[in-house]
Amino acid sequence: MEQDEEAATAGEDAHSQLMYRIERPVYDENLIRTKLLHRKNNSTTLRQRLAEKFQCSSEKAKAAVLSFLPILTWLPSYPVKQYLFSDVVSGLSTGVVQLPQGLAYAMLAAVPPVYGLYSSFYPVLLYTFFGTSRHVSVGTFAVISLMIGGIAVREAPDSMFYSIPANGSNTSAVLDVVARDARRVEVAVVLTTIVGIIQIVLGLLRFGFVAIYLTEPLVRGFTTAAAMHVVISQLKYMLGVKTQRFTGPLSAIYSVIAVFSNITHTNVTTFLLGLGCLVFLYAVKVLNERFKKKLPIPIPGEIIVVIVSTGISYGMSLSEGYKVDVVGTVPTGLQPPALPDFSLLPNLITDSFAVAIVGFSMGMSLAKTFALKHGYSVDGNQELIALGLSNFISSFFQTFAITCSMSRSLVQESTGGKTQIAGFLASLVVLLVVVAIGFVFEPLPQTALAAIIMVNLLGMFKQFRDIPSLWRTSKIELAIWLVSFIASLLLGLDYGLLVAIAFALLTVIYRTQSPKNSIMGHVPDTGLYCDVDEYEEAAEYEGIKIFHSNSSIYFANSELYVNALKEKTGVNPQHIQAARKAKRKHKHKESSPVKMYVKYEDEAVTHEVIPLNHVVEEQKNGQLKDNCQESSSDEAVSLQPLAAVHSIILDWTAASFIDSVGAKAIKQVIKEYAAVDVRVVIASCNRNLLAELDSLQFFTGDMATDMVFPTVHDAALHCQRLNSQPPAAPTGETSPVTEGESRDLTS
């Protein structure tokens, strides 16, 4: 009662009057099923439910059309006066960023720059019609572009395109760059078609949830590795060094070695120009961030770099005079649609899945962020379909796969973009350049584009800070981050992603298999139970062990569960049985030559109440020791009852499912304990799990529903009472129910 008052005083302001009061008989599952709870008979049959699901109606059809073409929902009610000006400003700003990024990311994708411009036009336009996110800017994205580049180079390596010069001279073969690039475009385009198809199909099948397997630490480790790959791939452009492009496992390392072994061939002009761009872009980035509030629109550093460096390059004839690599031919106008070359399909199908899923999950996470910020919702499956259609249709016009870009989306949102109209206008800006003035970018040095790519990825390297913070919060998630990073860096983005996903899933298995097992004690007068090893107030009932494990019981951990049960409770039926046999032999013939391998040292077990924890310790030690000597305790064995623990309560609060292996293991262990007169009951088992046990035919034979209790407290009261009843209580001091718990038995 002291405690009651103390607690009451403590919570005086909020809890002074509020009492938790329950007074009812102790229930077991048998009673619950027969008297207390009645199952509703749910009258809807499977057929009815199916019928309901597949029922067709004009309303449903209308809703389906609207959800497929979201533009029909929002465009008719577009508030022109309110939104149009912001959307125009935002659209133009975004378009100005799309342009240099398109050119730059085409380099990552290993295709000529103009294809980057195509990819910044068609899909962006299409997303306006199908997308549900109002703030993301779809288009080229570094990680996806790099993945495409890796695949394109793998399928069309330089080595395939060396041809002996026509004049038959014996000099070294010449690389046919035009044929190579054409082939790489073909690969990128057909990959994009397949990616689109995969995304559409996943969306139609309502498989938008696959992105959930890309947990945040995984994605961050993966994108950090991708950023490393990108920077490594751009080093050669920055330095103006010519090396081959590597793909596959360890390509990052080969690339670094190749660049550094050629570092003496650095083109100084290229390097200085690139460095200048890099410093300028970084400065602009810092300024934009610092004066976010004061600037009406961010300074368009990228387009400035493009224009200025194009101007310098043209003015000084960098390409001819200083051997600086430039963008080269940019054909004006769009290309007619063409059918992708599907013969490449078998080689690309797995890569396509990787690109499709990475692309979608990047896009979706951005879309969700903005939706939360602005209070609307995006439909994951429709987003998949929107991205898929954008990729699929565009691919017929020679684009490579796209998704949302974080940096560009931030520009679009911060410059006041309100709806998909902004994205639409951005695509028109790109279109204008493509059809009218694309050729002006021809003298643009590649090193400037490399600088743009690198600065855009600087933010991703901040993700290295995850390592110390994850170290503090969750070691498992740190492991996922590191595995994802290292695997993606070393094995390449495709296999790396696969390894990372497999690892992340295995951590879930690991978590279910490394539960925390504990012996619970009750906190007097509260009905609460907690770990006796951790909390001072937790007290065990005499002769009752309450075993808690925070996991489900299924094939991969049923054995661990049973072992932990025997170890934690300190009561091992095999040992008791062995001790009993020894006792029996000891009685029958005085000097039996058989020694038991392991003996249960039960001489330490007494019926005193106070040093219970101490007793458990000794029981444990006794069990762990393999004492083979004929101990003097045999006499004691025959005098003392065999186990001081008469009941074990399995606290299944945390168990959410069970399978046949688990059920068998539990059944088995209950039988084993029954053989040595220890009663095992199940407590706090949720009703779904009870239903599973029913369908596994658990409650047959010796198992009955009256050994299941709705709460641990019910079970504890029951066990206390049962033990004190039929054979007179072994010691006088034990009252049937402990003092604090039910002081008032006469109800």
> What is the distance between the alpha carbons of residues 65 and 59, in angstroms, rounded to a whole number?
10
Task: Check binding of 653 to a copy of itself (CB under 8 A).
Answer: yes
One of 2, 35, 44, 169 touching a copy of itself (CB under 8 A) = 35
One of 68, 129, 207, 213 touching a copy of itself (CB under 8 A) = 213
> What is the distance between the alpha carbons of residues 140 and 120, in angstroms, rounded to a whole number?
6
β-strand partners of 547 = 519, 650
Contacts (CB under 8 A) with a copy of itself, residues 297-356: none
| End-to-end alpha carbon distance in the chain | 20
Task: Check binding of 6 to a copy of itself (CB under 8 A).
Answer: yes
Contacts (CB under 8 A) with a copy of itself, residues 407-446: none
Contact 232, 252 (CB under 8 A): yes
| Closest residue by Cα to residue 222 from 336, 111, 337, 355 | 355
Which residue reads 């929107």 in tokens? Answer: 386
- Residue 200: what residue type? I
Nearer to a copy of itself, 225 or 532 (CB): 532
Q: What are the backbone dihedrals phi and psi of residue 197, each rounded to the nearest 5 degrees, phi first?
A: -60, -45
Task: Check binding of 34 to a copy of itself (CB under 8 A).
Answer: yes
Nearer to a copy of itself, 216 or 702 (CB): 216
Contacts (CB under 8 A) with a copy of itself, residues 518-547: 523, 525-528, 530-531, 533-537
- Of 214-222, 297-305, 341-349, 439-447, which part binds a copy of itself (CB under 8 A)? 214-222
> What is the distance between the alpha carbons of residues 188 and 150, in angstroms, rounded to a whole number?
10
Contacts (CB under 8 A) with a copy of itself, residues 547-576: 550-552, 554-560, 574
| Closest residue by Cα to residue 357 from 249, 502, 239, 212 | 212
Count of residues interacting with a copy of itself (CB under 8 A): 130
Q: 582 burial class (0-12, 13-18, 19+ CB within 10 angstroms)?
A: buried
| 457 three-class SS | helix
- Of 89-97, 267-275, 391-399, 708-716, which part binds a copy of itself (CB under 8 A)? 708-716
- Residue 63: what residue type? A
Contacts (CB under 8 A) with a copy of itself, residues 218-237: 218
> What is the distance between the alpha carbons of residues 390 and 129, in angstroms, rounded to a whole number?
9
CA geometry: angle 274, 279, 284, nearest 5 deg: 125
User: What single-letter DSSP state applies at residue 441?
Assistant: G
Task: Check binding of 66 to a copy of itself (CB under 8 A).
Answer: yes
CB atoms within 10 A of CB 44: 9
Shortest distance, CB of residue 18 to a copy of itself, whole angstroms?
5
One of 48, 317, 473, 735 touching a copy of itself (CB under 8 A) = 473
- Of 288-296, 347-355, 424-432, 706-714, which part binds a copy of itself (CB under 8 A)? 706-714
- Give CA torsion, residues 31, 36, 38, 39, to 10 deg: -70
Task: Check binding of 39 to a copy of itself (CB under 8 A).
Answer: yes
Contacts (CB under 8 A) with a copy of itself, residues 67-86: 67, 73-74, 77, 79
Task: Check binding of 589 to a copy of itself (CB under 8 A).
Answer: no
Shortest distance, CB of residue 26 to a copy of itself, whole angstroms?
5
Q: Which residues contact 83 (CB under 8 A, 6 or more apart)?
A: 418, 419, 421
| Residues 261, 267, 270, 275, CA torsion sign | positive
- Of 179-187, 260-268, 290-298, 737-745, which part binds a copy of itself (CB under 8 A)? 737-745
One of 15, 206, 290, 373 touching a copy of itself (CB under 8 A) = 15
- Of 19-27, 137-145, 325-333, 490-498, which part binds a copy of itself (CB under 8 A)? 19-27
Nearer to a copy of itself, 428 or 560 (CB): 560
| Residues 559, 565, 567, 570, CA torsion sign | negative
Task: Check binding of 713 to a copy of itself (CB under 8 A).
Answer: yes
Shortest distance, CB of residue 75 to a copy of itself, whole angstroms?
12
Contacts (CB under 8 A) with a copy of itself, residues 355-394: 372, 375-377
Task: Check binding of 511 to a copy of itself (CB under 8 A).
Answer: yes
Contacts (CB under 8 A) with a copy of itself, residues 684-703: 684, 686-689, 692, 695-697
Shortest distance, CB of residue 610 to a copy of itself, whole angstroms?
18
Task: Check binding of 181 to a copy of itself (CB under 8 A).
Answer: no
One of 660, 729, 730, 734 touching a copy of itself (CB under 8 A) = 660
| 298 three-class SS | coil
Nearer to a copy of itself, 159 or 473 (CB): 473
Run of H or E residues at 523: strand 517-523
Q: What is the DSSP string of 203-221?
A: HHTT-GGGGGGS-HHHHHH
- How do 138-139 and 162-163 pair as beta strands? unpaired
Task: Check binding of 25 to a copy of itself (CB under 8 A).
Answer: yes
> What is the distance between the alpha carbons of residues 322 and 701, in angstroms, rounded to a whole number?
91
Q: Which residues contact 493 (CB under 8 A, 6 or more apart)?
A: 143, 146, 147, 150, 222, 225, 226, 229, 354, 358
Nearer to a copy of itself, 413 or 714 (CB): 714
- Of 20-28, 166-174, 354-362, 485-493, which part binds a copy of itself (CB under 8 A)? 20-28
Contacts (CB under 8 A) with a copy of itself, residues 593-622: 593-595, 597-598
